[in-house]
Amino acid sequence: MRRPHTLVIGSTGKTGRRIVQRLAERGHPVRGGSRHLDPPFDWERPDTWPQALRGAESVYVSYFPDLAAPGAPAAIEELTACAADAGAQRLVLLSGRGEPNAQRCERIVGESGLNHTLIRTSWFSQNFSEGHLRDSVLGGVIALPAGEVAEPFVDVDDIADVAVAALTDDRHSGRLYELTGPRLLTFHEAAAEIAKAADRQVEYVAISSEVFHATLERSVGLGYADLLTDLCEEVFDGRNASTAHGVREALGREPRDFADFCRTAAASGAWR
């Protein structure tokens, strides 16, 4: 009989691949959940979920494309029921700060009867080094409909550390951890930090939602452009312009600073 393991849904994403690596390094049995693996896990094919969940004691849930998507609550409700039927004991949900739809998904997991931990995060620092904004950094212009709003950018390595703790230690059961970095920065200030670390010219330009949507539509299609534009309009209103203490509460240490992220990303060659 196979040992119970942790299933990491979204195992090729920013948080998921870090969680898989950490669990494996610590000797915890772990399986990735992705449509490209065997057995596959595909959010658009619920028929793949039971086989992927079989034998999983703990499950990390990162929803694609985002919990802000209209269909997310229904998918999370179905997944939670499927996980319970498969015998899972613990769910750890990656959630978004200041997103009403994400909070609906949190309530679904919280009311599931399963042991659970909710990880509510701010804007990822690594969006500038691994996501679609990396090309913007390399091009020297970060253009977003964020105005002069300030964000407490959070390091994905902090998220992964909290998730691993929640997946492996019952002391985190029933907890909601709100994760941010230690300070607020505007996107102008973030661009300046990146420019300094990368030794290249990088500036932030505030654009309208209409321009942002049109640019996205050409690169990622209408549906995803709609989702990201709506999400930006929702959260870039200042609602997240505060820091939280989830990293300290979960790990007993302070979160990583954005400047540290920039230095690490630059040293790794992310912006070469």
Whether 177 is covered by a domain: the verdict is yes
Rounded percentage of the chain residues whose pLDDT exceeds 90: 96
Q: Which residue has the tokens 């029933």?
A: 174
pLDDT digit string, tens, across residues 160-179: 999 999 999 999 999 999 99
pLDDT digit string, tens, across residues 178-234: 999 999 999 999 999 999 999 999 999 999 999 999 998 988 899 989 999 999 999
Rounded percentage of the chain residues whose pLDDT exceeds 70: 99
Q: What is the pLDDT of residue 220?
A: 87
Which residues have C-beta within 8 Å of that of residue 33, sequence separation ≥ 6? Answer: 7, 8, 9, 10, 11, 16, 41, 52
pLDDT digit string, tens, across residues 251-269: 999 999 999 999 999 999 9
Q: Which residue has the tokens 């915890």?
A: 28
CA 54 vs. chain centroid, Å, equals 24
Q: Cα separations (Å) of 210 from 133, 233, 237?
A: 18, 11, 16
Whether 116 is covered by a domain: the verdict is yes
Domain containing residue 226: CATH number: 3.40.50.720
Whether 272 is covered by a domain: the verdict is no
Whether 256 is covered by a domain: the verdict is yes
CA 32 vs. chain centroid, Å, equals 16
Contact criterion met (CB below 8 Å) for 9 and 62? yes
- How many domains, the chain? 1
Which residues have C-beta within 8 Å of that of residue 189, sequence separation ≥ 6? Answer: none
Contact criterion met (CB below 8 Å) for 24 and 56? no
Q: What is the pLDDT of residue 2?
A: 55
pLDDT averaged over every residue in the chain: 96
Q: Which residue has the tokens 């230095």?
A: 263
Whether 55 is covered by a domain: the verdict is yes
Would you mind telling me the total number of residues written for the chain in this entry? Answer: 272
Q: What is the pLDDT of residue 131?
A: 83
Which domain range does residue 103 map to? 5-267
Q: What is the pLDDT of residue 219?
A: 85
Rounded average pLDDT over 122-144 = 95
